[in-house]
Each structure stands twice: as structure tokens, then as C-alpha cells.
Amino acid sequence: MVASMRAQFETLNSLVSDNVRRGESESVQKGITPEEPFAAQEASLLDEVEHAKTSDERDQLYFKLASLALKNDDLKARDYVSKIEESEFRKQAQAWIDWGLANSAVKNQKAELALELNRIGELTHIQRVWVLTQTAKLLVKTDRDKASSLLETAGAEARRISGSELDRPRALFAIANAFRVVEPARVSEATFDAVKAANSAEGFVGEGGVITQTINSKNVISVIPQDVPDFDIEEIFGALANEDYEGAVQLARGFQGEAPRTNATIAIARSVLNQKPARVPTR
């Protein structure tokens, strides 16, 4: 068995390009050797671009430059991606970089930058819904009207997702969760829409919602899943149970699938059990 596995490893190793192998070596060194400042790394890579012998080498270097700029939340990353010659690689790299920049903008609470990237970036429908709902939450204290408008836009984006895809109910639950912050009176209505969408998406269970960032080219292969609790039903049904127990139960019964109905029921029960009992006045 060991001999067989060793033979397979040797075969696979021969298929790995030098660029990928070099990239793996660089990743191992991260955290061990101190990193150079951004400007120094950028200058070094640009010098390599000048001396690159093939367009393939230049494309790999431009992607490295874009990734370096992304790490520093620098929009220059988009400029470097645009210089990649190979069209399919450029397309995948653009989507990778745009999602990374938008994700970072939201996490750093840069609402306007997130909205600009949502406007110009190569994002999927579900990614746009996430950016819009999270940005709406950021703006609710300073501009509630704009926050509400963003959720309307997110709803339109969610409806562009095929009714049979799991991302559609996930997107609508993200919108319902955002309404909890922006317009609490509309949460039940938004949740009802999400439940209807869930009944049309085979395999929806109400948990495990993720956004997966993927790039799969000749020399760059990477997959990064990101958990998104707002896509799941636990939090929304727990919150609904606190406000309107009977209404939450009715919405949970609306699920045709056993798995989402059970998960919603568990969320309601957990919320009720975690409520503090009313204090009995003493005489």
C-alpha cells in the first residue's frame, strides 16, 4: 500500500507546474520570515514583469501584484488584473479580486467603497445581495432611507437567481435578517418570501450557508469558503419567536421540507427556553 501511494504521489508531483510549486514554497515561508513593505514587494514584482519572457509569466506576476494590492485593500488590484492577457484567467482573477475587495470593505465598515465595488465589480448575484444587506446594516444609523433602498435593491438582485437554486432562499433570508435592523416591521413579510423560495429549492435545509471564492486556472487553484450566518434560518426564527411566538410557529410550518422545518422549530424552541422568566413580585 505504501509503495502504491508513493508511486501516486510521484506521478501527481510530476504534473505540478514550477509556478505552482514555487507558490506553495512561498506560502510555507509566510509567518516565518518577515515580509517586506508593500512598496518594496510591488517594485520587485514590477521588475520581474519587465524581464518576463512569456505572456504566461507576465500574467502570473500581474496576478501576484493584484493579490498583493488586495491584501493591502488597495483598488490598484483591479488595475493589475486588467493587464492579464489570457482572457479566461483575467475573468476569474477579476471576480476573485473584486469579491476580496468588497468583502474587505464591508468588514472594515467602508460603506461607500463597498457600494462602489458592488456597482463596478464582477460579483455574482448572491455576493451582491450579501454586500447590499451588510452595507444596509452599516448605514442604518446615519441614513435609514438609503439602508431601506439598498434592501429593495438586494431583493431585486435575489429575484435574478433561479428559483431552483439554493442561493435564492439564502439571499432572501439574508434580506430578512437585514430587515431586523433596518425595518423590523417587515421581517415577517420578508421571512415569508424566503420560506416560499425555500420550498422551490430542492435540498435547502436552512443551515450551512456559505459564499465560496474560487479560482481555477492553469497555474492558480484556490477555493475559500466563507460562512454566512445570515443565509441560515436559526437566527431569524429565534428573533421572530421573541417578538411573536405564534407567528414564528406559523412561518416554520410553511416549510414543506422536513429539514428546514425542523431547524426552524429547534430555533424557536431554543429561543423560548433561553428567555428569562418574569420576576415574581415579592410582598
pLDDT at 38 (0 to 100)? 84
pLDDT of residue 123: 97
Domain boundaries, the chain: 36-101
Return per-residue pLDDT of the chain as tens, 283 residues.
Answer: 666 666 666 666 555 555 555 555 455 445 544 567 888 999 999 999 999 999 999 999 999 999 999 999 999 999 999 999 999 999 999 999 999 999 999 999 999 999 999 999 999 999 999 999 999 999 999 999 999 999 999 999 999 999 999 999 999 999 999 999 999 999 999 999 999 999 999 999 999 999 998 898 877 888 899 999 999 999 999 999 999 999 999 999 999 999 999 999 999 999 988 876 555 455 5
pLDDT of residue 37: 85
Contact residues for 63 (Cβ-Cβ < 8 A; gap 6+): 80, 81, 84, 89, 93, 220
Q: What integer pLDDT is reported at residue 28 of this predicted model?
A: 46
